[in-house]
Amino acid sequence: MRIPPYYRRPGWQRFFAGVVIGGLVGWAFFLFQFGDVHEELVIEINKQRLQIEEQEEQIEVLRSEERKRNEENEQKLTIQEIDLQFTNEEKAKLNELALYELKQQAEGEVKFLNGKNIESVVEGKDLIKKAVENKVYDVGDKEYRLDIVEMHIYSTLELHMKIVQPEVPES
């Protein structure tokens, strides 16, 4: 069997030449369009990548600020310091050393509250008051009691106390 000799007829030659040229033009058009679309997509992806990086940096800044605020708020919500003051220091006529010892012993009774949650301290303020008032403090050879006059609870626990000498029963 033999292939017909179409290459000798000018009509067929034009047809095949048109198919080849059309194929080449179509391929060139495809490459141009694909390159153009690909370039636009690459530019868009780069813009989005930059935008994502900026937003991630902003998120990190906001998270660090939030952490700082949480730490500050947590410190505000706990007892940071305990301050004891005597309302009748002058009337009690105690020397500095006796006052210091009395203050240290009273602080020993409430120092476990340092770092505690303010809410739990407020709930237990009656227990704190009873713990301080029901104890007899030995300073030198004398005994003293403390009565809480005022109690302020915030990040600093302030106790304003009155020094009382317990009455000695006569025997």
> 141 is in which domain, residue-wise?
81-164
Q: What is the pTM of this model?
A: 0.56
Does residue 107 sit in the same domain as residue 130? yes
62 Cβ contact list (under 8 Å, min separation 6): none
Q: Does residue 1 sit within a domain?
A: no
pLDDT digits (tens, 9 = 90+) for 56-113: 999 999 999 999 988 887 777 888 899 999 998 888 788 888 889 999 999 988 888 8
Same domain, 51 and 122: no
The answer on 101 and 64 residing in a single domain is no
- Mean of all residue pLDDT scores within the chain: 87
Residues 29 and 66 in one domain: yes
Q: What is the pLDDT of residues 79-88, one digit of tens each?
A: 889 999 999 8
Does the pLDDT value for residue 22 go beyond 90?
Answer: yes
Strand-strand pairing, 81-86 and 156-164:
parallel
The count of structural domains within the chain is 2
- 């000695």: which residue's tokens? 168
Are 90 and 154 found together in one domain?
yes
pLDDT the model gives residue 74: 73
Residue, of 169 and 5, whose pLDDT is higher: 5
Q: Is residue 113 within 8 Å of residue 79, measured between CB atoms?
A: yes
pLDDT of residue 73: 77
- Rg from Cα positions in the chain: 45
Residues 122 and 153 in one domain: yes
pLDDT of 156 over the 60 cut: yes
Look up residue 119 and give its amino acid: E
pLDDT at 38 over 90: yes
164: Cβ contacts below 8 Å, ≥ 6 apart? 144, 145, 146, 147
Indicate if 89 and 153 belong to the same structural domain: yes
Let me know: does 82 contact 161? Beta carbons within 8 Å.
no
Co-location of 69 and 138 in the same domain: no
Q: 131 vs 3, which has greater pLDDT?
A: 131
Nearest to 74 by CA among 125, 118, 121, 124: 118
Q: Both 44 and 98 in a single domain?
A: no
Same domain for 106 and 59: no
> Same domain, yes or no, for 52 and 114?
no
Query: What pLDDT score does 98 carry?
Result: 87
On the question of pLDDT at 170 being above 60, the answer is no
Answer yes or no: do 54 and 103 share one domain.
no
- Say how far apart CA 77 and CA 155 lie, in whole Å: 6
Tell me what pLDDT residue 118 has.
86
Residue 70 lies in a domain: yes
Tell which of 58, 75, 92 closes a domain.
75
CA 65, CA 36: separation in Å to the nearest integer? 44
Compute the average pLDDT of residues 1-5: 64
